[in-house]
């Protein structure tokens, strides 16, 4: 089961980890998701122990980041963000997308 989302605080560390890892790697045809070996090497070098759920989450975030990089090479691709939130409902819709993403991540079995 996922930890409850309270202002996203529980997930901030995942973004910090992803930033330290570099978001993605360079493959033959552009950006690719971080490999498990890269994540394991980072854990060893930084003396950071990720839980199974955290490792899966970081890898999934990296996959989405690399996919967006590929999509964004198309000039017709809309920006993955909206700089002009017109109303509270737009902000709520964006927040719902973030919550939905984290709820789709693998769950921790207890």
Residue 110 falls within a domain, yes or no?
A: no
- Cβ-proximal residues to 73 (8 Å cutoff; 6+ apart), any chain: 30
What's the pLDDT at 61?
92
**Structural domain for 74, as ranges:** 9-104
Residue 38 falls within a domain, yes or no?
A: yes
Residue 2 falls within a domain, yes or no?
A: no
The phi, psi pair for 30, rounded to 5°, reads: 115, -155
Residue 3 falls within a domain, yes or no?
A: no
The string of pLDDT tens digits covering residues 4-39 is 554 566 678 888 999 999 999 999 989 999 999 999
Contact indicator for 33, 69 with CB cutoff of 8 Å:
no
State how far the Cα of 2 lies from the Cα of 53, in Å rounded to an integer: 9
User: Structurally, how many domains does the chain consist of?
Assistant: 1
């Amino acid at each position: 089961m996922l930890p409850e989302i309270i202002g996203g605080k529980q997930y901030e560390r995942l973004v910090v980890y992803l930033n330290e890892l570099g978001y993605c790697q360079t493959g033959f045809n552009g950006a690719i998701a971080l490999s498990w070996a890269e994540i394991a090497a980072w854990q060893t070098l930084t003396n950071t122990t990720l839980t199974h759920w955290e490792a899966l989450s970081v890898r999934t975030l990296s996959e989405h980041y690399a996919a967006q990089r590929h999509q964004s090479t198309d000039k017709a691709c809309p920006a993955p963000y909206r700089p002009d939130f017109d109303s509270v409902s737009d902000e709520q819709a964006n927040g719902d997308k973030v919550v939905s993403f984290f709820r789709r991540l693998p769950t921790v079995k207890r």
